[in-house]
């Protein structure tokens, strides 16, 4: 990320103001000048707040600064070495921010509703595509880039050549990026990793198991074990949901029903539980529920009805 000269100058001014504020000798007149500087341009306040967030994420606790101020309360001035150390830490963080992207600290929670797809550009330039009914928590800090896939599915396109490691927690596993594009889906009993480019390393903290999955491979796991070793798969099918497609390959109807409920705000009931064992194959649009249900009736021995609130009832067709 290349910064404009104006932003770099303002950022340096913001650092100077923050160091002065942390020195413990911020007089009334100086505070007034600081407030005037903030009010002079919206960019001043925005960049100052970015720098301040970086400061709060630095390994330089405010408690230590407070203790240092008490020791020098008579002079109302911190030792020069501590001020210089604070400034050096900030300058280092700013240099990291210029290389990694601003802000360094990010604690957003990103969500999609049923049927919604969303693409997010993170501060370091990484892209995240969120599938329907997905929740992702961002935990970017000064020392690392960590995300938590709480539910749903996401495709991660990780910005290369970054100093901070990139890690995703999902379904009880931790996935560490090795220069990659990978898709992660959390399921009711199994989670799936699909690697489009590069490689990822999966660690299961509960058992200590570790596996590496490379480009063109997929793997399933749960919180306590690897369910399948990495196997070759068709990369073109890894993230077809971005084109609003569903691919089923001899998929039990019970799983098909779960997918429908994931993309549409309806409840689907199998009147006869044995219907869950019927299998379905093919490529379908996930944004046209009525068309999908019509197709389902045509290829499986079932009758489908919608009740007054729109929920779907599937029963076995009589011969």
Instruction: Kindly list the domain boundaries of the chain, sorted by start residue.
Output: 5-100, 109-237, 244-316
pLDDT in tens, 266-283: 999 999 999 999 999 999
What's the confidence (pLDDT) of residue 4?
47
What's the confidence (pLDDT) of residue 136?
98
The whole-number average pLDDT for the span 100-119 is: 87
CATH of domain 244-316: 3.55.50.30
* In CATH, 109-237 is 2.60.120.1440: yes
Output the DSSP codes for 34-67: HHHHHHH-HHHHHHHHHHHHHHHTSSS-HHHHHH
Confidence at 191, pLDDT banded by 50, 70, 90: very high
Instruction: Please give the structure tokens belonging to residue 248.
Output: 């089923």
Please, which residues have CB within 8 angstroms of residue 231's CB and are 6 or more apart in sequence? 217, 218, 219
Bridge partners (DSSP) listed for residue 223 = none
Q: Is the pTM of this model over 0.85?
A: no
Q: Which residue has the higher pLDDT, 235 or 131?
A: 131
């Amino acid at each position: 990320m290349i910064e404009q000269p104006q932003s770099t100058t303002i950022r340096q001014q913001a650092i100077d103001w923050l160091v002065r504020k942390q020195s413990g000798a911020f007089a009334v007149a100086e505070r007034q000048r600081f407030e005037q500087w903030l009010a002079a341009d919206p960019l001043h306040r925005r960049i100052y707040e970015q720098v301040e967030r970086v400061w709060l994420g630095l390994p330089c606790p405010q408690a230590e600064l407070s203790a240092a101020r008490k020791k020098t309360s008579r002079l109302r001035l911190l030792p020069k070495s501590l001020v210089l150390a604070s400034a050096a830490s900030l300058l280092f963080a700013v240099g990291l921010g210029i290389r990694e992207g601003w802000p360094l600290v990010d604690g957003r929670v990103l969500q999609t509703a049923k049927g919604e797809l969303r693409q997010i550009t993170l501060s370091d330039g990484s892209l995240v595509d969120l599938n329907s009914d997905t929740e992702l928590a961002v935990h970017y800090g000064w020392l690392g880039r960590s995300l938590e896939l709480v539910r749903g599915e996401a495709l991660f396109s990780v910005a290369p050549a970054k100093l901070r490691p990139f890690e995703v927690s999902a379904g009880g596993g931790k996935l560490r990026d090795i220069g990659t594009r990978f898709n992660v889906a959390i399921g009711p009993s199994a989670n799936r990793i699909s690697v489009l480019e590069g490689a990822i390393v999966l660690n299961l903290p509960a058992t200590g198991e570790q596996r590496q999955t490379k480009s063109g491979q997929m793997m399933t796991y749960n919180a306590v074990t690897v369910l399948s070793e990495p196997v070759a798969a068709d990369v073109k099918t890894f993230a077809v949901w971005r084109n609003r497609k569903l691919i089923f390959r001899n998929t039990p109807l019970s799983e098909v029903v779960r997918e429908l409920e994931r993309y549409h705000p309806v409840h689907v009931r199998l009147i006869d539980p044995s219907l869950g064992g019927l299998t379905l194959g093919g490529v379908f649009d996930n944004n046209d529920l009525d068309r999908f249900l019509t197709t389902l009736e045509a290829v499986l021995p079932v009758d489908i009805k919608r009740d007054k609130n729109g929920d779907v009832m599937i029963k076995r067709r009589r011969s």
